């Protein structure tokens, strides 16, 4: 623990968060140099660090407000600025002002998404995120790059229709981060106690897909997550999200009432 103004700052989870920032910075450098494959994989590594820092903080019981704010700032670098630059130098630069406008909008929406999440704090849904999480939005950008590098030798964006499609995808992904669409949270996902044979088979298929082509697996995961959230919101969650929010509100009220009862003198 490091002592700063009489407040203890946990070292281990924040060191992992620093690794997140480093990976994002590393991605920026390689995007500028034109090494798009390495830039994309650096963002993937940043995502792994982002998953680890929260898990380590919870396991070591070292969560702190400092860590929350530091994590948000690192996410803006790794999942806002880095993928926006990657998208610009890889496929949007030929569009001129329209290209950098799309990249700028991506950064701004990522910042707004992170700020909204911090303001909502504990009121953020436990099951669903409101708006596309910034790591998933970054995944959409890097998945397109890796898919093109792996299967088209990096030349797919030489075609104008493909470049136009990527421009549209960038705008849509940016707006999804500040939208009202609901995307499932994986924070509370646990396989403990799951004994389904079908889940085991699905896990084996996922492992086989990753071993066959990590780039294709990332592409399927990123775009599948986005389309899954959109479809689920439009067709299944119009009433369901309200029910979930009302249920969580009722549970919180019950917890508060129980706390009041336990505090009353016997």
Could you give the C-alpha distances from 231 to 67, 109, 184, 239, in angstroms and in order? 34, 22, 12, 14
Structure token digits, residue 202: 């699905």
Residue 185: which domain range?
A: 2-260
The pLDDT score that the predictor gives to residue 193 is 57
The pLDDT score that the predictor gives to residue 13 is 86
Structure token digits, residue 63: 């969560």
CATH code where residue 23 lies = 1.20.120.1760
Instruction: Concatenate the DSSP letters of all residues of 44-103 into one string.
Output: HHHHHHHHHHHHHHHHTT---HHHHHHHHHHHHIIIIIHHHHHHIIIIIGGGTHHHHHHH
The pLDDT score that the predictor gives to residue 235 is 82
Q: Is residue 241 part of a domain?
A: yes
The pLDDT score that the predictor gives to residue 10 is 75
Q: Residue 143: how many CB atoms within 10 A of its CB?
A: 22
Regions of the chain short of the pLDDT cut 50? 1-6, 261-263, 266
Q: Is residue 91 part of a domain?
A: yes
The pLDDT score that the predictor gives to residue 206 is 80
Kindly give, in sequence order, each residue whose CB lies less than 8 Å from that of residue 202, ignoring residues fewer than 6 positions away. Answer: none
Q: Is residue 253 part of a domain?
A: yes
- Please give the Cα distance from 107 to 178 (Å, whole number): 12
Count of domains forming the chain:
1
Q: Is residue 265 part of a domain?
A: no
According to DSSP, the β-strands at 7-9 and 128-130 are unpaired
Q: Is residue 266 part of a domain?
A: no
The pLDDT score that the predictor gives to residue 1 is 46
The pLDDT score that the predictor gives to residue 66 is 85
The pLDDT score that the predictor gives to residue 78 is 95
Full-model pTM: 0.80
């Amino acid at each position: 623990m490091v002592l700063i103004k009489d407040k203890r700052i946990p070292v281990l989870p924040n060191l992992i968060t620093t690794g997140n920032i480093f990976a994002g910075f590393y991605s920026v450098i390689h995007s500028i140099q034109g090494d798009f494959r390495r830039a994309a994989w650096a963002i993937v590594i940043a995502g792994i660090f982002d998953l680890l820092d929260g898990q380590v903080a919870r396991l070591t019981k070292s969560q702190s407000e400092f860590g929350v704010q530091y994590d948000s700032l690192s996410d803006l670098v790794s999942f806002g600025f880095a993928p926006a630059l990657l998208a610009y130098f890889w496929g949007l630069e030929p569009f001129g002002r329209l290209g950098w406008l799309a990249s700028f909008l991506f950064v701004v929406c990522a910042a707004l998404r992170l700020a909204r999440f911090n303001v909502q704090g504990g009121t953020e849904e436990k099951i669903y995120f409101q708006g596309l999480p910034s790591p998933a939005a970054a995944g959409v950008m890097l998945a397109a790059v890796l898919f093109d590098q792996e299967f088209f030798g990096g030349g797919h964006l030489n075609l104008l229709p493909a470049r136009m499609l990527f421009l549209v995808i960038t705008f849509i992904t940016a707006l999804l981060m500040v939208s009202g669409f609901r995307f499932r949270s994986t924070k509370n996902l646990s396989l403990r106690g799951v004994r389904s044979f079908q889940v085991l088979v699905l896990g084996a298929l996922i492992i086989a897909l990753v071993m066959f082509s990590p780039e294709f697996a990332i592409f399927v995961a990123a775009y599948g997550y986005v389309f899954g959230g959109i479809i689920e919101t439009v067709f299944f969650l119009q009433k369901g999200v309200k029910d979930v929010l009302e249920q969580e509100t009722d549970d919180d009220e019950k917890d508060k009432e129980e706390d009041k009862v336990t505090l009353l003198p016997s």
